[in-house]
């Protein structure tokens, strides 16, 4: 099946990110994007905070979904603001979602919706960075920028939590988000990217599946040969950031991964019953979400599902009519499946993008970038469902009640995973860096 690349308003596609050299270093699969093993993670132990979740599945809606057409409808606003959809009642009395969110409305008692996050970074590059790291960009960046001024959520979890031996701690499917990298934490804490389509009947992860006929003895032989021919001098001082040292580490981890029964089993999506696969949806995103559930079941603590195509400057309502039914049904299936398996209490599920959309529908039938208001969905991981936190004004222009920041959002994720968001990290050069400048989590989401 052909993989689709979504184009945002500035004409930059995910594929264009390859030109920046990011993919080869930190998002190219096994050879350049494996995290440290659990033994390495112990060098920087997780805090002693009470851990509410063992894993997080973050659904990244790249481009910026509309808060109006998802979780914050405004039925009393003029038609040019409220749009064509009606609010619908949810499972929770007094809470309404927008009409396209039917399946999620039916499980609202398991969901918490934050309607009052706002920030001042209204382009894709800056907004991605702020929401994915909890740190605003240090300098102005272009709308289509792929920038990394601070470690991302997944990379920090990889660095501080770790995963079982032989399995990466941080996955990003099917690509890395714009600011999903590790920055000074090092490439070993970048995401392991799974670009292959799990909805394909021939799906296998090329870096994990042992090629036919390649025995453990031959794997060992290849490693011996490589150690003999690779005589480049290594600079072991961490401040040097020697890429040859990193390559050695990646290769060793790769040898572990391809021979790991745990990895092989986690990626064997064909072992799932047809009933389960059908519930998630026999489409690319549906099967990616199912793969994410299999990964967290195997002990992976952080999985990002990158879903593009949410930059609706034109024809928003037709796009939502086509896209939203299967998309939100998959999220509902994921939450329900985790609950049925007894995993939801320890697995945090989040859905968001970099910002919301403008109040007034433009003359092309779309909404433009708007960072003064956005909605974020939470489920599981010790989160009390059936609640809405914060509010926007009656027309949805801005968050006005319980106004929250990206720092509060990121700190909440870290706190749930047992990570002290207020800690000081140090770059390889010894430079002190606050993990999050305001380490206050969203109290309503904490159990």
What pLDDT score does 246 carry?
A: 55
What pLDDT score does 30 carry?
A: 38
Segment 174-190 mean pLDDT: 92
Rounded-to-integer distance, Cα 259 and Cα 417, Å: 29
Instruction: Judge whether 41 and 158 are in contact, CB under 8 Å.
Output: yes
329 pLDDT tier (thresholds 50, 70, 90): very high
User: Percent of the chain at pLDDT above 70?
Assistant: 78
Rounded-to-integer distance, Cα 348 and Cα 337, Å: 13
pLDDT at 267 over 80: yes
pLDDT at 9 over 90: no
- Higher-confidence residue of 237 and 439: namely 439
What pLDDT score does 260 carry?
A: 76
Segment 63-73 mean pLDDT: 98
What pLDDT score does 10 carry?
A: 61
Segment 389-415 mean pLDDT: 98
- Higher-confidence residue of 222 and 113: namely 113
292 is written with which tokens? Answer: 């994410």
pLDDT in tens, 229-245: 454 444 444 544 445 55
Instruction: Judge whether 402 and 370 are in contact, CB under 8 Å.
Output: no
What pLDDT score does 209 carry?
A: 56
What pLDDT score does 264 carry?
A: 82
86 pLDDT tier (thresholds 50, 70, 90): very high
252 pLDDT tier (thresholds 50, 70, 90): low
What pLDDT score does 43 carry?
A: 41
Query: Domains (ranges, CATH) in the chain?
Result: 55-230+238-445 (3.40.720)
What pLDDT score does 205 carry?
A: 78
What pLDDT score does 427 carry?
A: 87
pLDDT at 16 over 80: no
222-226, 288-292, 437-441: least confidently modelled range: 222-226
345 pLDDT tier (thresholds 50, 70, 90): very high
What pLDDT score does 254 carry?
A: 57
CA torsion, ordered 387, 301, 189, 356, to nearest 10 deg: -20
What pLDDT score does 417 carry?
A: 98
User: Percent of the chain at pLDDT above 90?
Assistant: 69
pLDDT in tens, 114-135: 999 999 999 999 999 999 999 9
């Amino acid at each position: 099946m052909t993989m689709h690349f979504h184009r945002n308003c500035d004409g930059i596609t995910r594929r264009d990110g390859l030109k920046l050299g990011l993919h080869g270093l930190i998002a190219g699969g096994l050879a350049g994007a494996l995290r440290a093993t659990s033994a390495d993670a112990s060098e920087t132990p997780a805090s002693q905070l009470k851990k509410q979740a063992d894993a997080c599945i973050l659904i990244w809606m790249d481009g910026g979904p509309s808060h109006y057409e998802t979780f914050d409808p405004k039925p009393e606003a003029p038609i040019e603001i409220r749009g064509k959809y009606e609010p619908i009642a949810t499972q929770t009395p007094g809470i309404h979602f927008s009409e396209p969110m039917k399946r999620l409305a039916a499980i609202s008692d398991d969901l918490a919706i934050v309607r009052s996050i706002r920030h001042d970074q209204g382009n894709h590059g800056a907004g991605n960075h702020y929401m994915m790291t909890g740190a605003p960009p240090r300098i102005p960046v272009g709308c289509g920028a792929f920038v990394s001024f601070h470690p991302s959520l997944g990379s920090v979890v990889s660095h501080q939590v770790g995963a079982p031996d032989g399995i990466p701690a941080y996955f990003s499917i099917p690509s890395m988000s714009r600011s999903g990298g590790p920055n000074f934490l090092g490439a070993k804490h970048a995401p392991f990217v799974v670009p292959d389509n799990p909805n394909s009947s021939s799906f296998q992860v090329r870096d994990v599946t042992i090629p036919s006929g390649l025995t453990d003895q031959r794997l060992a032989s290849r490693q011996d040969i490589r150690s003999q021919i690779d005589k480049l001098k290594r600079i072991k001082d961490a401040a040097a950031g020697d890429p040859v040292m990193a390559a050695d580490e990646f290769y060793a981890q790769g040898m572990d991964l391809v021979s790991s029964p745990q990895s092989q089993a986690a990626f064997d999506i064909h072992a799932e019953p047809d009933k389960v696969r059908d519930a998630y949806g026999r489409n690319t995103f549906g099967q990616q979400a199912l793969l994410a559930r299999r990964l967290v079941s195997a002990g992976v603590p952080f999985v990002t599902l990158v879903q593009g195509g949410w930059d609706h400057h034109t024809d928003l309502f037709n796009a939502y009519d086509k896209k939203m039914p299967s998309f939100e049904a998959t999220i509902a299936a994921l939450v329900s499946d985790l609950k049925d398996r007894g995993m939801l209490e320890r697995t945090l599920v989040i859905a968001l993008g970099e910002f919301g959309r403008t109040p007034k529908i433009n003359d092309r039938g779309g909404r433009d970038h708007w960072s003064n208001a956005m909605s974020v969905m939470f489920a599981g991981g010790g989160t009390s469902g059936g609640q809405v936190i914060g509010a926007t004004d009656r027309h949805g222009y801005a968050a006005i009640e319980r106004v929250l920041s990206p720092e509060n959002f990121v700190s909440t994720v870290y706190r749930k995973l047992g990570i002290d968001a207020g800690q000081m990290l140090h770059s390889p050069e010894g430079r002190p860096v606050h993990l999050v400048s305001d380490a206050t989590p969203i109290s309503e989401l904490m159990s």
